[in-house]
Copies of this chain bind each other. A is one copy, B any other.
Amino acid sequence: METVTSRKHPEIQSAAALQKSAELRRETGTFLAEGARLCADAAESGVRIERCFFTAEAEEKYGRYLEPVRKSAKETFFVAPHVAELLSDTRHPQGIFCVCAMPETKRPLADAPQTLVLENVQDPSNVGGVLRTAEALGVADLCFAGACCDPFSPKVVRGSMGAVFRLGMHFFPETAPCAQVLERAGFTLFAAAPAGGEPITGPCFPGKKPAVWIGNEGNGLSEVALALCARRVTIPMLGRAESLNASTAAAIVLWEMVRGEREEKFDG
């Protein structure tokens, strides 16, 4: 196994660039995962691991996590601590990194029983939180419309707790084609609006194949999205209406979307 002591090593340079550039991630179809648990999670989720980098200290401390990663990785590199620093996006790096291939989407979007569409959602903590919650609550397919924060950026990958390795993610650089694809696939399009829509606790989702649209943190959904969604839904609130954070609002929408399935599984 090669030991890398130079920050100028080509594999280090390109892994560090993946950390920073969404464009490079898109072009290469790869991204960087950092941290012992997260890298082990990638391996265990069947993600293709192109390269793995770790320090001697990490090998000693995180051997249990490192094992599945080393087994899966096509190439493995020992790196000096100052080289690991260059790859890290965290304050206390654990010294384990993987270049991962973006997972293949498991099934066509048309086969999903429901989906959440994020349009221009830009805060990485919000996107990471939504992915994590979607996976926990059982919504396995997500759409990204317009200029969303890249879900393969380091902060989202970490915030998602590895959900990016397993969710079906569908990307649409423009809003209108996303809406068209969803409609053709038999979805009913719901715009989540802060006020004025049907209450999401009512009978709006059952019997539908819902695609609920969540808009940008500051500006909400675009005019185009609002025009293309057949229905509008609102989270009815007893308190101060402006006060739900984007990822909390998404969590409540997700929770209500799968209510029928959940009741079937747990109550029936």
* Residues in chain A within 8 A of chain B (CB atoms): 129, 132-140, 161, 163, 199, 201-202, 236-241, 243-245, 247-248, 251-252, 255, 258-259, 261-263, 265-267
Between-chain CB contacts (< 8 Å), 28 pairs: A132-B243, A133-B244, A133-B245, A134-B239, A135-B239, A135-B240, A135-B243, A136-B240, A136-B241, A136-B243, A136-B244, A137-B237, A137-B238, A138-B238, A139-B239, A163-B240, A163-B243, A199-B266, A201-B262, A201-B266, A201-B267, A202-B267, A236-B262, A236-B266, A238-B261, A247-B248, A252-B252, A252-B255
A135 to chain B, nearest CB (A): 5
| Contact B201–A248 (Cβ < 8 Å) | no
Please judge, given known A-B contacts A245-B129, A252-B252, A265-B236, whether A259 and B201 are in contact too, CB under 8 Å. Answer: yes
Chain B residues near A261: list those with CB within 8 A.
238
Residues of B contacting A139 with CB < 8 Å?
239
Max chain B C-beta neighbours (<10 A), residue from A134, A202, A240, A262 = A240
Rounded to whole Å, the gap between the CB of A166 and the closest CB of chain B is 8
A199 CA to B266 CA, complexed, in Å: 8
Residue numbers in B under 8 Å from A255 (CB-CB) = 252, 255
Give the number of copies in the complex. 2
A239 x B138 contact (CB < 8 A): yes
- Complex Cα distance, B204 from A266, in Å, reads 14
Bound-state Cα–Cα, A140 to B262, Å? 28
CA distance A259 to B255 in the complex (A): 13
A194–B238 CA distance with the chains assembled, in angstroms = 27
Closest beta carbon of chain B to A140's beta carbon, Å = 8
Which B residues touch A251, using CB under 8 A?
248, 251-252
How distant is the Cα of A265 from the Cα of B238 in the complex, in angstroms? 8
**What separation, in Å, do the CA atoms of A259 and B202 have in the docked complex?**
12
Beyond A132-B243, A248-B251, 12 additional contacts (C-beta under 8 Å) are A132-B248, A133-B245, A135-B243, A136-B241, A137-B239, A163-B243, A199-B267, A201-B262, A238-B261, A248-B248, A251-B252, A255-B255
Is B263 a contact partner of A201 (Cβ separation < 8 A)? yes
CB neighbours (8 Å) of A252 from chain B are: 251-252, 255
Contacts of A237 in B (CB 8 A): 136-138
In whole angstroms, how far apart are the Cα atoms of A239 and B265 in the complex?
12
